Structure 1
Amino acid sequence: MTTVFVTGGSGFVGGRLVARLVKDGHVVRALARGDAAAAKVEALGGSAVRGDLGDVAALRAAIGGSELAFHAAARTSRGGSRTQFWADNVEGTANVVRAAREAGVRRLVHVGTEAALMDGQPLVGVNENAPLRPDSRAHYPASKAAAERLVLDADLETVVLRPRFVWGAGDTTVLSELVAMVKGGRFAWIGGGRHRTDTTHVDNTVEGLILAAERGRPGQAYFVTDGHPVLFRDFITELLATRGVTPPDRSLPLGLALAVASAGETIWRGLRLSGAPPLDYMSVWVAGQECTIDISKATEELGYRPVKTREEGMAELRG
C-alpha cells in the first residue's frame, strides 16, 4: 500500500484518478481549495488536505509522507489572461515540483496535453519528438508547454502523460459547453468538421497515468489516446446525441474562423476584457484542424492499451 498525493483531485481527471487509486488499495491525499472540493475528495475515498498551488509551504506539508504524486490541477478555461494562466499552470507546477522534491517524493507524474504542441498548425501523426510550444499564441498551450518543460527538467524523478481530448461520464465542461452552444444557436462546424481527431476517454487517461507511475522512464513524456482516430464531426455528433441534442449543419470556413479568432483575441487582450472572445485560437485549432497521435511509445514502454472503447464510453454517457 502506497501513500499517494494528487492535485486537482476534485476535478474530472483528478477525481477519476483518486477513485482508481483508492480502489487499487492506496492511501490517497488530495489538495482541496474549498469545502466543495474537499467534500468530493472525501466522497471518493481520499483524504482532503486544504491548500492551493500558490503556497509552497502548504503544498510541502500536504505532500509530506507520500511516495508518489500526481499533478492534475490546471487552468483550462477558454478565458483568462496570460498572467492567470502562468500563475496557475507554470508557477503552480513549479511549486508542486519544489514541494515534491523537498518532501522526498519518489516520483511525480504530471498530466500534460497535446495542446502543448499547438500554435496553429495541424498535428498529424505526431509523437513525443514534436517540439513543445511555450511560444504559442494561445495562453493555455503556452503555459502547459512551459509547465511540462519545468517538470521534465526537474531534479526529481518525473514522467509526463499526455492525453488528447479527454471525455466521458463526469465531464462538466466540454460536453455541457457544446450543448449550451447548440441550444443557444452559437454552434457551427469549422471547415465542415470532417478532419480526423484522436480522443482519450477519462478511464484510458487514468490507465495511462497509473502505468506512467509504474513503468515510465524518468524525464520522459508519453501520449495516450483511445487507440485510433475518428472524424471530429462524427465524434461530436455522437457525443451530443447522448444528451438528446443534434448539432446544425452550419459551417464556418477555417480561414474565416482563424481571422475572427485573431481579431477577437487582439481586442480581448488589448482591452483586457474578461472572459473569452466568441472564437479563440484554441477553439478553432481543436474544432477545425486535424490532431492525430502516435501512441507507439506508450504501447511499447508502458504496455498501454485502452481499457475503454468509444462505444462503451458513449453507452455510459447515454446512461
Structure 2
Amino acid sequence: MRRIAITGSSGFVGRHVIPILLSKGHAVTALVRGPESARKVESFGCEACLCDLGQTNSIMNCLQGADAVVHMAARLDISGSYQDFYADNVVLTQRMLEASQKAGVKNFVMISAAAVAIGSPDPFPVNEKARLIARPAGNYGTTKAFAEREVLSCTNPHLRRVVLRPPLVWAEDAPVFNSIAESVQKGQFVWIDGGHYCVATIHVENLASAILAALSSSTGEGVFFVSDGEDIQFRRLIETALCARGLTTPRLSLPRPIARTSATFAEAAWALLRLSGRPPITNTLIDLIGGEFRIDDTRARQELGYCNRIAIDDGLARLGS
C-alpha cells in the first residue's frame, strides 16, 4: 500500500481515478480548497485535507507521510487570460514540487496533456521525441508545456518524476461531451472538416491505469504519452455521445481555414466588446479537437507497464447504456 496525495480530485477525472486507486489498496488523501470539495471527495471514499494551494507550507502539511503525489489540478478551458492559466498550471506546479521535496515525498506524478505536442512539425503518430512548437494549443497547451519543464528540470535525486501526457479524456460523464451537447442545443456547434479525422483519446479508466502504472514502476521516469492504444474518428466519438443524450447530429461544417478565420474574429469581438461568457469557437478549441492528432504511447507500455483497462468499442457501448 502507498499513501498517495492527489490534487484536482473533485472533478470528472478524480471521481473515476480515486475509487480505482483505493481498490488497489492505496491510501488516498485529496488536497481540497474548501468544505464542499471535501465532502465531494469523501463521497468517493478517500480522505480530504483542507489546503491553501496558494501557500507552500499549507500544501507541505497535507503531504506529510505521503509516498507519492499525483498532481492533476489544472486550468483547462478554450478561452481565458494567460495570467490565469500560468497561475493555475505553472505556478501551482512549482509550489507542489517545492512542497513535495520539503515533505520528503519520493514520487511525483504530474498529469500534463498531449496538447503540448499539437502543431509539432514531426509526422503522426508523435512520440516523446517530437519537436514542440513555442505556443501549442493556446494558453492551455503553452502553460502545460511550461509546467512540464518545471517538473523535468527539478534536480532532486530523491524525487522520482513522471509526466503523463493524456490526449482527450472521455467517459459517459465527460465534460467535453456535456459542453458539445450544450452547444448543439443552442445551435452553435459546427463540425470542422466534417469531423472526418482521427484523434487520440484516453478513456478515464485507462488514465487511471496509467497513473497506477506510473506509481507502481520504480524505474520509469520522464515524459510519457498515454492513450487508448488506438485512434478513433472524431465524428464517430461525438455522434455516439450526442445520440446517447438524445440529440441529433448537426450537419453544418466549416473547412479548417474558414473555421480559423471565424475563431479569430470571434475572439476579437469578445475582447473588443467585452462580451460575457466565451466565444462559440476559438483557436484553442480548433487546436484541441479540430483536426487530426495521433500519438504513440509505446514508451509508457514498455517502461511503465501501462496497459488498457477498457477498449474504445467497450467505452462507446457504455455511452449509450
TM-score bracket relative to the smaller structure: over 0.9
1:160 to 160, 163, 178: 163
Cα distance, 1:123–1:79 mapped onto 2, change above 3 Å: farther
Alignment of 1:268-283 (within 5 A): 268=270, 275-283=277-285
Give 1:39's aligned amino acid.
Answer: R
Q: CA deviation at 1:138?
A: 0.8
Partner of 2:313: 311
2:188 to 186, 189, 194: 186
Q: Retained in 1: the 8 A contact 2:120–2:132?
A: no
Partners of 1:141 and 1:132 in 2: how far apart?
A: 10
Whether 1:225 and 2:227 are equivalent positions in the alignment is: yes
Larger deviation, residues 18-27 vs 91-100: 18-27
| SS of match in other structure, 1:289 | coil
Partners of 1:133 and 1:269 in 2: how far apart?
A: 26
Partner of 1:150: 150
Q: TM-score, normalised by structure 1?
A: 0.93
Partner of 1:131: 131
Alignment of 1:27-106 (within 5 A): 27-106=27-106
Partners of 2:203 and 2:173 in 1: how far apart?
A: 11
Cα distance, 1:261–1:33 mapped onto 2, change above 3 Å: same
Cα distance, 1:170–1:239 mapped onto 2, change above 3 Å: closer
Partner of 1:247: 249
Q: Retained in 2: the 8 A contact 1:122–1:290?
A: no
Give 2:154's aligned amino acid.
Answer: A
Q: CA deviation at 1:219?
A: 4.2
Q: CA deviation at 1:274?
A: 5.5
Q: Retained in 2: the 8 A contact 1:53–1:93?
A: no
In the alignment, structure 2 segments of 5+ residues that lack a partner are: none
Partners of 1:79 and 1:289 in 2: how far apart?
A: 18
Partner of 1:15: 15
1:257-279 deviation per Cα after TM superposition (whole angstroms, max 9, x unaligned):
11122233345456776543221
- Output the aligned Cα RMSD: 2.0
Larger deviation, residues 139-148 vs 254-263: 254-263
Q: Retained in 2: the 8 A contact 1:163–1:205?
A: yes
Q: CA deviation at 1:141?
A: 0.5
Q: CA deviation at 1:41?
A: 1.0
| SS of match in other structure, 1:316 | helix
1:178-230 deviation per Cα after TM superposition (whole angstroms, max 9, x unaligned):
11111111111101111111110000011011101222645411111111111
Cα distance, 1:120–1:129 mapped onto 2, change above 3 Å: closer
| SS of match in other structure, 2:128 | coil
Give 2:100's aligned amino acid.
Answer: A
Partners of 1:304 and 1:87 in 2: how far apart?
A: 31
Partner of 1:174: 176
Q: CA deviation at 1:43?
A: 1.0
